[in-house]
Structure 1
Amino acid sequence: MSATKPVMRIDIVSDVMCPWCIIGYKRLELAMARFTDSVDFDLHWQPFELNPDMPAEGQHLGEHIAEKYGSTPEQSEANRQQITDLGQSLGFAFNFDDQSRIYNTAQAHQLLHWAGETGAKGQQHALKMALFDGYFTEQNNPSDIEVLIATAAKVGLDADEARAVLADKRYEQTVKANQNGWMVNNITAVPAIILAEQYLISGAQEADTLAEAIEQVLSLS
């Protein structure tokens, strides 16, 4: 990071299963690009499980949406098309199909926490992006340990250490505590973006809205 520019910390509370989280991030990315010459951004991905009780085998996406939100198959399909179109406009490919499933993300969040602890700048972010790509674009199962290890290795993290982290569950309680901490602070839906640890933006807001919020925080610093 440049020594001459201010640094703004941005925490993003999200789940790999959340399509609006990657849409929200892509919009944030557009907003941040407007400040390339004036601000360095320090991103931290924070855990939030949308479906903590989801079994390892997951659940069919359409069935899950119907049970959770009461959506008809037609409504669910329309929503997926809206998300796909939005993703395309932002340069992200959603490849939903008839076999798409929702999965448990507890271990993915543990791996993300570890990546954030490694000290190598950007590895947690790279892993998060790879997990989004793996799930939404490639239709991989992020609750599969081998998928998680391969994804970690893909972004330059140590595969053997990733396997050890998942095997001994060293970050399981820490991640749970972090999730509970966000919920105590009234974050009950994602994405939630916190600028400079003080300004909360809920939902996948437009890039203009996010840029205005960044400008406001900068004016107060």
Structure 2
Amino acid sequence: MAQATGQTLRIDIVSDVMCPWCFVGYHQLRLAQEQTAIPIEVFWHPFELNPQMAPEGEELREHLMGKYGITVEQSIEARARLEAIGDELNAPIRFTDGKRIYNTFALHRLLHWAAESGQAGALKLALFEAYFTDSKEMNDPQVMADVAAALGLDRARALEILTGDDYAEEVRAKQQFWTSKGISGVPAMVFERQHLVTGAQGVENYASILTQLAAAQAGAA
């Protein structure tokens, strides 16, 4: 493993909790960081894949077939591919019959609150795992409050946020900021506030990016 050198690299990640490639991309980045030992700091930002979706959500396979025109066979293949990638990354992805997809605005508001105590990263990963690994009902405030409480966050306050509209303006402003920068799909990672990388790029590519940026940073020092 390489020795960590230089200053910490900043990485802003625009993503949605429902986005499997955001989950994959983060864990690819995590492994790249572990391999290179280059210090990074991740900041999470909101994006909604389905801002108009009803609170009860939609059956995932039916949603994807309607939105992207894929067949059942293509859905089965895509799920198998994602599950295999997740296993390789030690980040299990499990698709169950009837799995649903949801609007995530309430979860983004919860993440905004968690950021006030430095817990946004931990909560983001816990929400990813709740959905992709444990297939929890992400639109159930009680279930989501339990996820927050498991991290030591105030469960009552989490429930209050999930069932109310606190931080709505702040989250909308964040979303608008990133869409105004041209972000229309996720994951979108911005390295050192200037290098935009979209999609899940793989461990090797992320390691290369980190190495190049760290070298450039050292050369400018």
Instruction: Give the TM-score, by structure 2 length.
Output: 0.91
- 1:182 corresponds to: 178
The aligned length equals 213
| 2:42 alignment partner in structure 1 | 43
Does structure 1 residue 163 correspond to structure 2 residue 184? Answer: no
Per the alignment, residue 126 of structure 1 pairs with: 122
CA shift in 2, pair 1:20/1:164, >3 Å: same
Task: Name 2:35's counterpart in structure 1.
Answer: 34
- Per the alignment, residue 104 of structure 1 pairs with 103
Q: Is the 8 A contact 1:11 1:193 kept in 2?
A: yes
Contact preservation (8 Å) 1:56, 1:143? yes
In the alignment, is the contact (CA less than 8 A) between 2:141 and 2:163 conserved in 1?
Answer: no
Do 2:112 and 2:171's aligned partners in 1 also have CA atoms closer than 8 Å?
yes
Q: State which of 118, 141, 145 in structure 2 corresponds to 1:149.
A: 145
Contact 1:199–1:217 under 8 Å retained in 2:
no
Distance in 2 (CA, whole Å) between partners of 1:213 and 1:54 is 36
- Structure 1 residue 5 displacement after superposition: 5.0
Question: One-letter code of the match for 2:131?
Answer: Y
Residue 138 (structure 1) shift? 1.2
SS of the residue 1:34 aligns to:
helix
Within 5 Å, give how 1:187-206 maps onto structure 2.
Answer: 187-206=183-202
Q: Distance in 1 between matches of 2:127 and 2:68?
A: 25
What do residues 110-138 of structure 1 show as CA deviations (whole Å, max 9, x unaligned)?
A: 111111122x3xx2111111111111111
How many angstroms does 1:217 deviate by? Answer: 1.9
- Give me the whole-angstrom Cα distance separating, in 2, the residues matched to 1:99 and 1:23: 22
Question: What's the secondary structure of 1:201's corresponding residue?
Answer: strand
SS state of the match for residue 123, structure 2?
helix
Partner residue of 1:18? Answer: 19
**Distance in 2, Cα, partners of 1:194 & 1:142:** 27
Find out whether 1:80 has 2:79 as its counterpart: yes
Aligned equivalents of 1:149 and 1:5: distance in 2?
39
- Alignment match, 1:213: 209
Q: Please report the TM-score for the alignment, with normalisation by the length of structure 1.
A: 0.91
Uncovered stretches (5+) of structure 2, i.e. residues with no partner: none
RMSD: 1.5
SS in 1 for 2:93: coil
Letter matched to residue 116 of structure 1: A
Post-superposition offset of 1:167 = 4.0
Q: After TM superposition, give the deviation of residue 142 of structure 1 in Å.
A: 1.6
What code does the residue aligned with 1:143 have? N
Tell me how far 1:200 sits from its aligned partner: 1.0
Task: Indicate whether 1:62 and 2:61 are aligned.
Answer: yes
State the percentage of identical aligned residues.
43
Name the SS of the counterpart of 2:10 in structure 1: strand
CA distance in 1, matches of 2:13, 2:128: 14
